[in-house]
Amino acid sequence: MPQLSMHYMGRRDYCAVWQAMQDYTDARNEQTADEFWIVEHPPVFTLGQVGRIEHVLDAGDIPVVQSDRGGQVTYHGPGQVVIYTLIDLRRLRIGVRALVEHLEWSVIDLLADHGIAAVGRRDAPGVYVDGRKIAALGLRVRRGCSYHGLALNVDLDASPFARINPCGYRGLEVVSLADCGIALDVWAAGQALGERLAHRLGYTAALVNTDDGTDRA
């Protein structure tokens, strides 16, 4: 299997990482390696390309960012791991739908390893446990290459989700790994998820720790 670099970046500002993803994608060529960036963000609400501001019910002191990913509104914050997939889809010969399914099944596989049943939904991409959302995703493809990715709730304060209609669905409940009795921290959950996703895409994952601690409160 070819090798993919999986960068654990620690807690980083959302907009800074978003800009870095765009820069990486714009500078790519046919030889550029695919990478995963595993990140935790300070509190932020993000709207997708077609996201409607009315789904932000009460942002309060949490910033709202209009992003270029797919999907509606979601929340990122401490205790949630985000895995950004910087992938050349043309080289892998897969489409966006296939990448979405690989992302969902990586979470489903991780939960199954801990005895928790989960499902994806074609009408509302993401992963659900007993109807509650545990992972949300949104992608952008530019020049045949993807960025953005998937957010998995590990052990977070879920109260900010009550300030929005998560993914555009009023009253949608969320759940975390901790709620399911799975005792993983953000680092361990990100590594486990990244390894499963890399395997599904035909890679072996080489972990690189690039957490410099600069964005930690």
Q: Name the band, by pLDDT with cuts 50, 70 and 90, for residue 216.
A: low
CA distances from 59 to 6, 43, 46 (A): 32, 11, 11
In a domain, 214, yes or no: no
pLDDT at 212 exceeding the cut of 80: no
Rounded CA gap, 11 and 40, in Å? Answer: 4
Give this prediction's pTM: 0.95
Q: Is 70 annotated as a binding residue?
A: yes
In a domain, 101, yes or no: yes
Q: Is 138 annotated as a binding residue?
A: yes
In a domain, 122, yes or no: yes
DSSP of the chain, one letter per residue? Answer: --EEEEEEEEE--HHHHHHHHHHHHHT--TTPPPEEEEEE-SSEEEE-TT--GGGB---TTS-EEE-SSSSSEEEE-TTEEEEEEEEEHHHHT--HHHHHHHHHHHHHHHHHHTT---EE-SSS-SEEETTEEEEEEEEEEETTEEEEEEEEESS---GGGGGB-GGG-TT--B--TTTTT----HHHHHHHHHHHHHHHTT-EEEEEE---STT--
Catalytic, out of 15, 145, 167, 180: 167
Q: Is 71 annotated as a binding residue?
A: yes
Instruction: Classify 158 as helix, strand or coil.
Output: coil
**Predicted local confidence at residue 130, as pLDDT:** 96
State yes or no: is 15 an active-site residue: no
First to last CA, the chain: 39
pLDDT at 19 exceeding the cut of 70: yes
Q: Is 172 annotated as a binding residue?
A: no
Tokens for 93? 């010969």
Q: Is 150 annotated as a binding residue?
A: yes
Q: Is 86 annotated as a binding residue?
A: no
Q: Name the band, by pLDDT with cuts 50, 70 and 90, for residue 217.
A: very low
Rounded CA gap, 157 and 136, in Å? Answer: 16
pLDDT tens digits along 96-144? 999 999 999 999 999 999 999 999 988 888 999 999 999 999 999 999 9
In a domain, 215, yes or no: no
**Predicted local confidence at residue 209, as pLDDT:** 85
In a domain, 129, yes or no: yes
Q: What CATH number does the domain containing 69 carry?
A: 3.30.930.10
Q: What are phi and psi of 106, to 5 degrees?
A: -65, -40
Report the C-alpha dihedral over residues 203, 86, 97, 65, rounded to 10 degrees.
Answer: 150
In a domain, 85, yes or no: yes
Lowest mean pLDDT among 33-42, 149-158, 205-214: 205-214
Residue span of the structural domain in which 60 resides? 3-209
Mean pLDDT along residues 17-35: 96
- The number of folded domains in the chain is 1
In a domain, 148, yes or no: yes
